[in-house]
Amino acid sequence: MQPNGKPTFAEKISAPTRFGILLALLVFAAFPQVVLGLETFVARDFGFFAYPLAHFQRDCFWHGELPFWDPYNNCGVPFLAQWNTMPLYPPALFYLVLPLTWSLGMFSLLHLWWAGLGMYFLARRWTGNDFAATFAGVAFAFNGFTLNLIMWPSHMATFSWLPWVVLLAERAWRDGGRKIPLAAIVGALQMLAGGPEIILFTWLIVSALWLQQFVGGANSRTAMLWRFPLVVALVVSLTLAQLLPFLDLVAHAQRETGFADLRWSMPGSGLANFFVPMAFGSTATEGIFFQHGQYWTSSYYLGVGTLWLALLALVSLRERRVWLLGTIAVVGLVFALGENTPVLPLARKLLPQLSFITYPIKYIVFAIFAAPLLAAFALANFAKAQKNLLPLGGGLLALLAGILLWTQFAPLPGDGTHAALLNGFSRALFLIVTGAILFALSRRTNSLFSRFAPLFLILAAWLDVSTHEPAQNPTVSPGVYELNLARTKLALNPQPELGGARAMVSPLAANEFINFAASDPKNNFLAKRLGDCANANLLDAVPKVDGFFSLTPRENDAVLSLFYTTTNASYPSLEDFLGVAQITAPDAMFHWRARTNFLPLVTAGQKPVFLDDQNALAALTQTDFAGGKVVFLPPEMKSFVTVSNQTTAKILDSKFGDDTVEIEAQADKPSLVVVAQTYYHNWRAAVDGAPVTLLRANVAFQAVQIPAGRHKIHLFYRDRAFEIGAAISICAWVFCCGGLLLQFRFGRKKESPPA
């Protein structure tokens, strides 16, 4: 407040409502073309993963179905159980109902705004300073890492809930009452958004905060002992409809305990990118900057102002929360270095479950969370910390100069040294400008510059991050997502259709897709879309052999790995069994070659041969494998099969839906009917309405035995884990929402003055 009792300019712009408006304006200023619907995101996983899956989910929604199964990829793969597909996340209704070319990008931007708002309220509670909270909110929403997450709507949504969960979980164990169900609901919404690693990191942060406060004894330890576990139990109960199918898939997926993927660790030179974000890398991929050897995030640049203030808090303040945040940030940085230090490899040996967290760079989340809060503490205690401002700023400027010399005199192969030099000079300019603004804040004069310094500091931080490298999320015309675009342009004959035949991206083309990156994002996407790259085939309703999912059934992965572990694998007989009617031509990855010997996806009359999976996999690759005459079954299924030889049987009709298959078959004696669709234990089979055993055929596919005569076979997907989880979750939601309403109603009555 000013001496006359009026609020200062910083206080005026930092009130909650005004902050929300300011942040919305900054989001609009960063992406006006997306907000106005003129262009849409397309680069990297947004175009090849997020958008096609959202389209498939939307199609199921408008048919009144839950998307349990994707029949178009990987010869069929669980969809709802993947978790990061967001099938049960309530805010997903935004893009399910509104035009997808606009709404999916806006979905990410709205969560970008929500992330900043959550950090604002968390920093406001911890520091008691609205302006410090405003800076923290902008810094959390606008940094290289958060902006990178825009291409993954699921990760963006999960990340946006992080500060909200921390804020409300702390209030729950401190205050109890209605805060407990409220914290549980917020935790559940983050859980349903579906970014497993970020969810885990969130609760590790919450647990560290709880432990610090429990040991410190600032609150009732007895209450803390039961309130926090209660919140966790409620979050789990609210989300079992999603968690149980996911855990079930994990138990049957290719990622087992001990699975290790240390790719995409922060490079040893990666700390330099906090100062010069375009050091030691290139823009060869769609014009987006990437470090050498680390392609998960295009940036984790915090901005020189945020970094400076965060370090200022660490060297100047002796508060318990500051030291906790500093520890969290350091742990995240060390783990993000992955294989470049012995710490994470050793931790994975001691705790094998950490192997499920792929790409160590993800641990940078801890630093991205801690830095804006540390900066807020520095601003809230600026009078105490400002004595270290100039020495620390001089040190940062010297360090930045040293990094620039390093980039020029010891560049790595492929470095854009000129771009790094310009980038470094521009960051030095922002450092100087930020220093001038902070100096003005410390002077507390009545000059016009000092008065508006708070706003200048926020705008400088936003502009610094907005210009720190080329666009991380380039946008193009929404026309690139036109449905059936590839079908029209390619006019394949025969055309792969659901239940009819499949397309197959050859191993060579799959490898070329990874290495190919046109400089223009639009051409890059369209070229790869014509080759059915990743999950782009969903936009054309083209079933294919491979796909782009985190988890696939273990047996399915074993079969497809026969092709995709090398670049020249070719097993024509297996391709025939899989119903491959079109395969990528050898001359270009977006040209196709028709195949004529492929089998229908449903065949009958095969002779059963009982082999373990290892021998069956070897047999599938033999040139004499005839999928229409022989089928390999595991020995443990021998008791369910009475057929011993090849029989005379034929398929009269077959119809595939998203999670059903209807077949009509005729046989002169008991016969096997084989379906070239991925076997997963949630699939059930019935013959003429009577349940029968669904057999696992050819390692990873489906088969049913039928008696002699004409019969109708019904295959359907039934997820019991979902059904059990949904029943518990519905009860938990009723309990939490009902409890909140009752507490709110009776709380208001108690607060009302007597008549």
Q: Are residues 727 and 708 in the same domain?
A: no
- Going 167 to 172 to 178 to 181, the CA torsion angle's sign is positive
Contact in structure between 179 and 744 (CB atoms under 8 Å):
no
Q: Are residues 708 and 726 in the same domain?
A: no
| Cα 203 from Cα 191, distance rounded (Å) | 11
Mean pLDDT of the region 339-350? 89
In the three-class reduction of DSSP (H, G, I as helix; E, B as strand; rest coil), residue 47 is classed as helix
Q: Is the peptide bond before 90 cis (omega within 30 degrees of 0)?
A: no
pLDDT over 90 (residue 673): yes
Residues 6+ apart with CB under 8 A from 615: none
Residue 109 lies in a domain: yes
Alpha-carbon torsion angle 77, 79, 80, 86, nearest 10: 160
Q: Are residues 414 and 289 in the same domain?
A: yes
Mean pLDDT of the region 118-147? 97
Q: Are residues 356 and 367 in the same domain?
A: yes
Q: Are residues 710 and 725 in the same domain?
A: no
pLDDT over 70 (residue 749): no
Number of domains in the chain: 4
Mean pLDDT of the region 2-9? 55
What tokens were used for 218?
Answer: 């600032």
Q: Are residues 305 and 396 in the same domain?
A: yes
pLDDT over 90 (residue 589): no
Q: Are residues 272 and 178 in the same domain?
A: yes
pLDDT of residue 525: 93
pLDDT of residue 753: 43
How would you list the strands of the sheet with 695-697, edge to edge? Answer: 602-604, 671-675, 701-706, 695-697
Residue 474 lies in a domain: no
Q: Are residues 708 and 729 in the same domain?
A: no
pTM of the model: 0.94
Residue 110 lies in a domain: yes
Indicate the pLDDT class of residue 742, thresholds 50, 70 and 90.
Answer: confident
pLDDT tens-digit map of 44-80? 999 999 999 999 999 999 999 999 999 999 999 999 9
pLDDT of residue 182: 96
Task: Tell me the DSSP string of 80-95.
Answer: GGGSTT-TT-GGGHHH
Mean pLDDT of the region 529-555? 95
pLDDT of residue 260: 54
Mean pLDDT of the region 722-735? 97
Residue 212 lies in a domain: no
| Cα 176 from Cα 230, distance rounded (Å) | 10
Question: In 468-498, which positions are buried (b, 16+ CB within 10 angstroms) versus exposed (e)?
Answer: bbebbbbbbebebbeeebbeeebebeeebeb
pLDDT of residue 751: 43
DSSP state for residue 754 in the 8-state scheme: P
Q: Which residue has the tokens 């100069």?
A: 401
pLDDT of residue 469: 95
Indicate the pLDDT class of residue 752, thresholds 50, 70 and 90.
Answer: very low
What are the percentages of helix, strand and coil residues in the chain, rounded to 5? 55, 10, 30
Indicate the pLDDT class of residue 515, thresholds 50, 70 and 90.
Answer: confident
| Cα 414 from Cα 400, distance rounded (Å) | 21
Contact in structure between 122 and 370 (CB atoms under 8 Å):
no
pLDDT > 70 fraction of the chain, expressed in percent and rounded: 96
Q: Are residues 452 and 387 in the same domain?
A: yes
Residues 6+ apart with CB under 8 A from 624: 573
pLDDT over 50 (residue 3): no
Q: Are residues 713 and 726 in the same domain?
A: no
* Mean pLDDT over each residue of the chain, to the nearest integer: 93
Q: Are residues 640 and 704 in the same domain?
A: yes
Residue 1 lies in a domain: no
pLDDT tens-digit map of 292-336? 989 999 999 999 999 999 999 999 999 999 999 999 999 999 999
Residue 228 lies in a domain: no
pLDDT of residue 519: 78
CA atoms within 13 A on the CB side of 521: 24
pLDDT over 90 (residue 632): yes
| Cα 168 from Cα 157, distance rounded (Å) | 17
Mean pLDDT of the region 474-499? 95
Q: Which domain holds residue 557?
A: 494-568+580-594
| Cα 465 from Cα 139, distance rounded (Å) | 9
pLDDT over 70 (residue 43): yes
pLDDT tens-digit map of 397-418? 999 999 999 999 999 898 989 9
Q: Are residues 109 and 184 in the same domain?
A: yes
Indicate the pLDDT class of residue 754, thresholds 50, 70 and 90.
Answer: very low
Residue 59 lies in a domain: no
pLDDT tens-digit map of 154-202? 999 999 999 999 999 999 999 998 999 999 999 999 999 998 999 999 9
Residue 40 lies in a domain: no
pLDDT tens-digit map of 272-288? 999 999 999 998 878 89
pLDDT tens-digit map of 232-264? 999 999 999 999 999 999 999 987 644 556 678
